[in-house]
Amino acid sequence: MEATGIVFLVVLFVIIMTAAD
């Protein structure tokens, strides 16, 4: 598991969900 990659995916997911709100 690459911690940096996981954090990036989580941040990206949050941004998408916020934009979709």
d(CA 17, CA 1): 24
pLDDT of residue 1: 64
Q: Could you read off the pLDDT of 1-21 as tens digits, one per residue?
A: 689 999 999 999 999 999 997
pLDDT of residue 13: 98
pLDDT of residue 17: 97
pLDDT of residue 18: 97
In the block, tokens 């690459």 appear at 2
- The secondary structure of the chain, three-state, reads CCHHHHHHHHHHHHHHHHHHC
Would you put residue 2 in left (φ > 0), alpha (ψ -120 to 50) or beta? beta
pLDDT of residue 21: 73
In the block, tokens 């949050």 appear at 14
pLDDT of residue 6: 96
